[in-house]
Amino acid sequence: MLLDLALPLLRRLPPETAHLLTLRALRSGLVPRRARPDPPSLAITLWGRHFPNPVGLAAGFDKNAEVPDRMLRFGFGFVECGTLTPRPQSGNPRPRLFRLEEDEALINRLGFNNDGIAAAAARLAARRRADGIVGANIGKNRETADDIADYVRGVTALAPLVDYLVVNVSSPNTPGLRELQRKSAVTALIERLMAARASVAPENPPPLLLKIAPDLTPEDRVDLAQAALATGIDGLVVANTTVARPPSLASPQAHEPGGLSGRPLFAPSTALTAEMYRLTQGRLPIVGVGGIASGADAYAKIRAGASLVQLYTALVYHGPGLVQRIKRELAALLARDGFATLAQAVGAAEHSPRAPAHGH
């Protein structure tokens, strides 16, 4: 595939430039033919929606909903656009995206740079919903007087147009944003958003998911799980980027401020997935994100309690051909362990604690 072949060239460019060039190539039609059908064992139905496979593209790649259907053709089971804010914003000053080559990681302090909800909504309204599952990730503008009102605007504009919505209260790059994860704040936020969703999409409303940080205290994790169950939110996305800097990081860029993603996030985000699965008694679907670069990584997340998984950073290092490889490896691991369906494997490590979770 041409994008895989272009990877060494793209890696020589500054990361944000490489990303913009990739988007331009995708917009111009540089996409594969539709991928072969997935093995039936990889399919899963959640919230009344059929996912042909559990491997999704995380938010951050297609911030403005420019190429969701083109990304689906690389074999993703679903694509998440955003993060989108009510008004367009330019984000933080450049440089604001850094490759940690030695660690297969990225640090970003982009700051919700996007064209605004109206531009994305127009693009989403023009697509054929039958082409595949597309979600939107919503946030608040940096200079806003009313945080909750910004999220309500996102739900109101996008709920009729997408298959699911993710409420991003966990990016480290918008001052004060993570305070919205506190129990009282998140409860008030979710209740307002569910009311907004009901008013604009009463028939078949899109599920509403909450994206949480990997840096929560143990008390915050318990509070969030209780709030999630009490409010009736539809699922959790675990987890966003981390402000932690593991001592294992070898890259000279490791101490840039911002959110760390990629391989170093795999272990902590997978442990948090298992913890949130336990704290919510397996009653809420979880989307596992953070450091996935192989079928074994995806399988570890699923065994820890994730029903779906997402990746982005690994594409920077391995190219889009990685998606098909992960699916092949995941199908083989399910078959090896006697799981006829993906759903049977969800939380398997939690149900039989002695069984190892396989990762890198």
Mind telling me the catalytic residues?
171
234 Rama class: left (phi>0) / alpha (psi -120 to 50) / beta:
alpha
Exposure string (b/e) for 287-318, b if CB count within 10 Å is 16 or more?
Answer: bbbbbbbbbbbbbbbbbbbbbbbbbbbbbbbb
| Residues forming a β-bridge with 100 | 105
